[in-house]
Amino acid sequence: MSNQKKLISRSTLTFKAFEHEVTMAPGKTTIWDFVTHDKRTGKKYCVYCALEMSRAKNLIKIALKKLPKDHRFVVVTSSFSEEEETKANEAGYCITSIDTLNKFGREMLDAKSVETKKEAPPEKAEAHGTDMDANEVLDVIDQALAKDKLF
């Protein structure tokens, strides 16, 4: 599997962990790799996975012009500079690293695990060490992508 496909796969798994509906872009008809929809909040994101930001700048400009009005554009990359983050904020899209998405994904899975263990006998629920429940963690990615909390 190519590095680009791995980046897309890892990104979609994180959104799915946050109970987003993920729809892969059909072929090469769009610039973004997938669209995600949070049925709880109604928020929609067009996500583009870029291995290197230096190669993606022109595609991002085009994607922003073609972005549906009710969607937010998100760029997932391996890393980015402060300058690239500033440009993203100025242009009105979100940029994040795959490591940050993975961290949020792990937190979500931990929270879901706690919820499952709370339904189990008390001795098993106490053995896990987190105070967050699944609903609290579900809001993390929405806040981050809405710029309430920047990645």
Residue 89's pLDDT is 92
Question: pLDDT by residue (tens digit) across 78-90?
Answer: 989 999 999 999 9
pTM score above 0.85 = no
Give yes or no for residue 73 having a pLDDT over 60. Answer: yes
Q: What's the mean pLDDT in 17-30?
A: 85
Question: pLDDT by residue (tens digit) across 86-113?
Answer: 999 999 999 999 998 888 878 877 777 7
Q: Which residues contact 76 (CB under 8 A, 6 or more apart)?
A: 7, 11, 47, 48, 49, 50, 96, 97, 98, 101
